[in-house]
């Protein structure tokens, strides 16, 4: 009985496996570099949504539509290209590594800008403090 169960389980597992057909290359395939640009913008848009989605909704901004319009693609073209690239894991990983590298570069740039701004404000505050400390006390005419 155990052998029959094991044999049927083995047969089911082999028949359950199927060939996953890779999608055909779309006629209007988005180039890899443009896909990297598009996905970078999509990640930034998702970050903006997570920060203040209500303001975006209140203003009636459709971020995805803006991205597609900016890159002159439509949602179907993007979906087909994304599916095509996703079928090849190595290509998809290459694309996402470039996206990640761009986002990290943007993050470092923003961090350096924030740090420079903080240092500028600190130096202004320090200078004002030194001016107040080093200034001679105001003499009252009654003394």
Task: Name the residue among 67, 60, 62, 66 with its Cα closest to residue 40.
Answer: 67
Mean local confidence (pLDDT), 47-76: 85
- State the Cα–Cα distance between residues 68 and 74, nearest whole angstrom: 6
CB atoms under 10 Å from CB of 30, counted, come to: 22
Question: How far apart are the C-alpha atoms of 74 and 29, rounded to whole Å?
Answer: 11
Return the domain boundaries, the chain. Answer: 26-118
- Rounded CA gap, 85 and 22, in Å? 10
Q: What pLDDT is stored for residue 142 in this prediction? A: 64
pLDDT at residue 138 is higher than 90: no
Q: Of 35, 43, 19, 40, give the one whose Cα is nearest residue 80.
A: 35
CB atoms within 10 A of CB 29: 14
Q: Which of 17-26, 49-58, 108-117 shows the lowest mean pLDDT across its residues?
A: 17-26
| 106 HSE (CA, 13 A, CB side) | 11
**SS3 of residue 86 by DSSP:** helix
Predicted TM-score (pTM) of the model is 0.65
Q: What SS3 class is residue 47?
A: helix
pLDDT digits (tens, 9 = 90+) for 71-127: 999 999 999 999 999 999 899 999 999 999 999 999 999 888 888 888 777 666 666
């Amino acid at each position: 009985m155990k052998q029959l169960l094991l044999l049927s389980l083995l047969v089911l597992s082999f028949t359950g496996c199927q060939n996953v057909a890779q999608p055909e290359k779309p006629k209007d395939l988005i180039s890899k570099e443009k896909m990297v640009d598009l996905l970078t913008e999509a990640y930034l848009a998702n970050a903006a949504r997570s920060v203040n989605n209500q303001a975006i909704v209140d203003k009636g901004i459709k971020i995805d539509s803006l991205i597609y319009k900016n890159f002159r693609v439509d949602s179907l073209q993007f979906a087909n290209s994304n599916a095509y690239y996703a079928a090849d894991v190595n290509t998809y990983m290459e694309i996402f590594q470039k996206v990640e590298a761009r986002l990290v570069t943007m993050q470092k740039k923003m961090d350096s800008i924030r740090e420079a701004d903080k240092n500028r404000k600190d130096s202004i505050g320090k200078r004002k403090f030194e001016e107040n400390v080093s200034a001679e006390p105001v003499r009252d005419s009654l003394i």
